[in-house]
Amino acid sequence: MNGFLQEFVAIDLPALAAALLALIACGTLGNWLVLRKESMTGDAIAHAVLPGLVAGFLVTGTRSVAAMFAGASIAGVAAIMLAGWVRKRMRLEPGASLGVVFTAFFALGVALLESQGARQIDLDPECVLFGSLETLFLVSVRDKPWYTTLPHELWTLFAAAVLAIGFSVLFMKELALLAFDRNHARQTGAAPRMLESLLLAVTSACVVASFEAVGTILVVALLACPALIASPHARSVRGQIAISLVAGSALTVAGYALAAFAPTMFGAPSALNAAGMIAVLLAIAVPASHMLRAMLRGA
Amino acid sequence: MTAGASAAAPLELRGFSAGYSQSEIKVVDASFTLGRGTLTALVGPNGAGKSTLLKGILGLTPVHDAGAVRFFGQSLDAARERVAYLPQRSEIDWNFPASALDVVAMGLYRRLGLFRRVNRAARDEARAALALVGLEAQAAQPIGELSGGQRQRVLLARALVQRADLLLLDEPFANVDELTERTIARVLEDLRANGTTILAVHHDIGTVRANFASAILFNVRVLAHGPAESTLTDAAIVRAYTASNAANLSAGGAA
């Protein structure tokens, strides 16, 4: 049993912590996107940063966080600016202009990914989709405190989670007002003019920070699903965020456990992909939560 | 600053235009002045641009001629705290997770300032405003569970806590029950008597004279402005409502 525990701490705990931190970062911000009826924006950002990530790899030739972050940030900002320009010039509705620009960016990213250069530095399309939760290990080195041996992804994700929570708490009432009645926020001047741009920037940063560890699919699911699970039950914005984080955490742990332990229990040779399994559970929970609400109302 | 009553008029428009793009101008060359303590109905057919006019005045439309509007003789930015706006009920997402009290408290956000939570004093003030519109019992109720008339009164209470000197209301009487209609009419009359200036979009020609002392007949342009009785003559109304196509065409916009 002691061996199991050691294995759990070394292999499962870092991966689980990474998934939970990504949930806190993306799940918290996802509430603002859902309340603003902009859940597509999260999807769009997650796709748009891909060419930046790949370009970061290609330019530096390494999988360094700094290069990845810089590339993704540039791509994110460029895509958002381009979407704004397209909307104005072509008079498209916001959703359509986002759709056009972000699809193009994602396609560019995939093309770069399949290029010779990316192959050489061992950048795997699968890693982009599903992340690298399985590669996060806790290496214990004698005479070194535990926190110096943590995978760097955990620190990045921790910073993202703090940023998402801090930003949401600090601007709670202004973000809520902008989501509920944007004209009122503008007319009274109660919300700073830059706040919506700031929300987009913070969301982009958290998406990029979560990307390497959990992959595109789970990032997209984390932005939309926890908030959508919470919305039928919430009576306040604060409550909505709390429900989304509690339900999201439970599903993340359940999804990880299902992927890691269930297959071997049933005699399968290897574990399933954890990020994929968590995303599947989150997606299933959205309609389930709405059905639960309907049942509670009927009772 | 300058002499004369008009310099300090709560709202003054001089050749104001507004719309959603340069090729979709819905308000053309509007000029009127509202005096202190007046209650005016903005009347006109569907698609006349009444809502666009209110939003444009407040700088909420993509195209609006901010230089042609003065609030108490000042620009909007200088007078922002003295102006409140009530949007059309249908423009609000009533599934938003908030109670009636939460929504009313939003009217206090600017005064509270950034990084400050809604404190007890703010909640008390919001509750008092809810009491004024007869909704003190519904304070904690989710807005999604309120009736249409109750929702309208919540929005009015939010405008009340702003303690504005100029109120711009978009269809406050649209599709409301009789209790709500009487409540809103009473609240508006009390405000007017205390010196507040009110301009309200009103779609129902038949009830204008009962609730408003003066009226602006509007269809893309200001067609008439004066006491409700003399402004809303049958002939003027027919002209405003049949002129709609011609007026819109000449303004280059769709109805």
Query: What secondary structure letter does DSSP report for A12?
Result: I
Confidence of residue A81 (pLDDT cuts 50, 70, 90): confident
Is it the case that residue B254 has pLDDT exceeding 50? no
Confidence category of residue B197, pLDDT binned at 50, 70, 90: very high
In a mutational test of the B interface, the residue from A187, A237, A240, A290 whose CB has the highest number of chain B CBs within 10 Å is A187
- Nearest CA of chain B to the CA of A184: how many Å? 7
pLDDT at A205 over 60: yes
Rounded mean pLDDT of chain A? 86
Residue for token pair 């979009």: B201
pLDDT at position B4 is 45
Mean pLDDT of A181-210: 90
Residue A272 predicted with pLDDT over 90: no
B20 touches chain A (CB under 8 A): no
- Is B5's pLDDT higher than 60? no
CA nearest B104: which of B88, B86, B90, B91? B86
Q: How confident is the model at residue A111 (pLDDT cuts 50, 70, 90)?
A: confident
Q: Which helix (H) or strand (E) holds A57?
A: helix A50-60
pLDDT at A267: 76
**Any chain A CB within 8 A of the CB of B106?**
yes
Q: Is B80's CB within 8 Å of A189's CB?
A: yes
User: Domains of chain B (ranges plus CATH)?
Assistant: 6-48+59-236 (3.40.50.300)
Q: How far apart are CA B180 and CA B172, in angstroms?
A: 10
Over residues B100-105, mean pLDDT: 98
CA distances from B143 to A191, A291, B99, B215 (A): 22, 21, 5, 32
Higher pLDDT, A147 or B193: B193
pLDDT value of position B180: 96
Asked whether residue A231 carries a pLDDT value surpassing 50, the answer given is yes
Q: Return the minimum-mean-pLDDT range out of B26-30, B128-132, B245-249.
A: B245-249
B234: closest CA of chain A, how far (Å): 36
Q: Tokens standing for B241?
A: 């409502």
Average pLDDT over residues A182-211: 89
* Percent residues over pLDDT 70 in chain A: 93
Instruction: Indicate yes or no: CB of A181 within 8 angstroms of CB of B109.
Output: no
CA B218 vs. chain centroid, Å, equals: 15
Over the Cα atoms of chain B, what is R_g?
18
For residue B25, give the nearest of B52, B55, B46 by alpha carbon. Answer: B52
Domains of chain A plus CATH, in order, are 2-291 (1.10.3470.10)
Average pLDDT of the segment spanning B63-73: 95
User: For the residues of chain B, what is the DSSP string, one character each?
Assistant: --SSGGGG-SEEEEEEEEEEETTEEEEEEEEEEE-TT-EEEEE--TTSSHHHHHHHHTT-SSEE-GGGEEBTTB-HHHHGGGEEEE--GGGS-TTSS-BHHHHHHHTTHHHH-TT----HHHHHHHHHHHHHTT-GGGTTSBGGGS-HHHHHHHHHHHHHHTT-SEEEESSTTTT--HHHHHHHHHHHHHHHHTT-EEEEEE--HHHHHHH-SEEEEEESEEEEEEEHHHHS-HHHHHHHHHTHHHHHHHHT---
How close is the nearest chain A Cα to the Cα of B126, in Å?
A: 15
Kindly list the residues of chain A whose beta carbon comes within 8 Å of any beta carbon in chain B: 35, 37, 91, 170-174, 176-177, 179-181, 183-184, 186-192, 231, 234-237, 239-240
Chain B partners of A192 at a C-beta cutoff of 8 Å?
Answer: 114
Report which of residues A92 and B39 the model is more confident about.
Answer: B39
**Range in A120-129, A233-242, B83-92, B228-237 with the lowest mean pLDDT:** A120-129
- Is residue B252 scored above 60 in pLDDT? no
* pTM, two decimal places: 0.88
Angstrom distance (rounded) from CA B109 to CA B199 = 23
Report residue B251's pLDDT band, with 50, 70 and 90 as the boundaries. Answer: very low
Q: Which residue has the higher pLDDT, B198 or A202?
A: B198
Using the beta-carbon criterion (under 8 Å), do A189 and B117 form an inter-chain contact? no
Q: Within a 10 A sphere around the Cβ of B29, how many other Cβ atoms?
A: 16
The pLDDT of residue B255: 36
- Closest residue on chain B to A32 (Cα): B96
- Which of A184, A231, A240 has its CB closest to that of B106? A184
CA triple A114-A118-A120, angle to 5 deg: 115
Answer whether B198's CB lies under 8 Å from B188's CB. Answer: yes
Asked if the C-beta of B162 comes within 8 angstroms of chain A's C-beta atoms, the answer is yes
The reply to whether B59 touches chain A by the CB within 8 Å rule is yes
pLDDT at A141: 65
pLDDT classification of A140: cutoffs 50, 70, 90: low
Q: Residue A236: what are its φ and ψ, rounded to 5°?
A: -150, 165
Burial classification of residue A78, based on how many CB atoms lie within 10 Å of its CB (0-12 exposed, 13-18 middle, 19 or more buried): middle
Query: Cβ A35–B117 below 8 Å, yes or no?
Result: no
For residue A227, give the chain B residue with the closest CA: B97
Residue A262: which pLDDT band, with cuts at 50, 70 and 90? confident
Closest chain A residue to the Cα of B145, Cα to Cα: A235
Task: Give the separation between CA B94 and CA A180, rounded to whole angstroms.
Answer: 9
Q: Which two tokens stand for residue A190?
A: 């109660």
Using the predicted structure, report yes or no on whether residue B246 has a pLDDT greater than 70: no
ipTM, two decimals, is 0.89
